[in-house]
Amino acid sequence: MAASCLFCKIVKGEIPCEKIMETEHSFSFMDINPLAPKHCLVIPKQHGVKLCDIDDAHLADLLPVAKKVAAAIGCTNYNLLQNNGREAHQAVDHVHFHIIPKPDASRGLGISWPSKETDKAEIAKNAEEIRAAL
Among 47, 58, 94, 96, which one carries the catalytic annotation? 96
- H helices of 1-134, in order, are 6-11, 56-73, 120-133
**Would you call 23 exposed, middle or buried from its count of C-beta atoms within 10 A (0-12, 13-18, 19+)?**
middle
| Residue 73 phi, psi dihedral angles, 5° rounding | -60, -35
How many Å apart are CA 128 and CA 60, to the nearest integer?
26
Residue 27: count of CB within 10 angstroms of its CB = 21
CA dihedral 39, 94, 42, 46 (to 10 degrees): -160
25 as an active site residue: the answer is no
Q: How far apart are the first and last CA of the chain?
A: 28
Residues noted as catalytic: 96
